[in-house]
Amino acid sequence: GPENRSIFLGMNIADPELKFSDVKGKNPFADLKVRQAMNMAIDRAAIRKVVMADQSIPSGSIIPPFVNGYTKELDAIPARDIAKAKALMTEAGYGQGFAVTMHCPNDRYLNDEKICQAVVGMLARVGVKVNLMAQPKAQYFGKVLKAGGYQTSFYLLGWTPGTFDSHNVLHDIEGCRDNPQSSRGESNLGNYCNKKHDELTDKVLVENDKAKRDQLIKEAFQITTSEYGYIPLHQQALAWGVSKKVKLSQRADNSVLLYWARKE
């Protein structure tokens, strides 16, 4: 069945110059057209078929359908269009391409390193030359998370909203991390920031009317989607072996709760 975990790519959008790139004096990821081109270059269907053996659900959103606040409208998978992506790169001033290091775990998510290898080949077609640095999760997270100083320019990450609510993603992944006194954006490795988005997120936290709250969530996600703040790839699938003698309801967050199991 589907897992409550989304796999996506993130980029350092905020720094004036990328630490791990051959571009000096500016940040290519700060350009919306570059982010849009990269999003269009990813073949999610190919990743599902070749890398994931059909055990994933390609996505245009970084929340799965069963998370509160999900809207199908914002889960549209962008059409892969290499010609248009190359044109966008040229318009942004990167017609000759650029190089960047991609940090990726190799033992944290299903086929994580293989996904990154596939992404390397796909982005090469639009001129983004990715130098892949795949590491065991201890080294990877020690570098890219807050404790390591967010030392990454481009990365793959998986996220599970344990609350099964969109606020978790809006606050932790998409929120601005410009206030050191706040926990907002602590897992926002690329330092994406939109203050209007944060205002909506704060309203989501205190709104009790479900219809109004869902509309606020939708507006917040619309901002991130329109700005290509992240590149969603897919939701993982859970694969469990269960005895035919046991009836089990498996939670999408990968937790095994034995009081939901019974012997037939």
**pTM for this prediction:** 0.94
* Nearest by Cα to 58 from 176, 197, 193, 231: 231
**How do residues 203-246 score in pLDDT, each as one tens digit?**
999 999 999 999 999 999 999 999 999 999 999 988 888 889 99
pLDDT more than 90, % of the chain: 88
**How do residues 166-185 score in pLDDT, each as one tens digit?**
999 999 999 999 999 999 99
How far from 27 is each of 24, 55, 92, 190, CA to CA, in Å?
8, 35, 11, 12
User: Taking residues 52-66, what's their average pLDDT?
Assistant: 94
The torsion defined by the Cα of 19, 23, 26 and 32, in degrees rounded to 10, comes to: -100
Residues 6+ apart with CB under 8 A from 217: 69, 71, 166, 167, 170, 200, 204
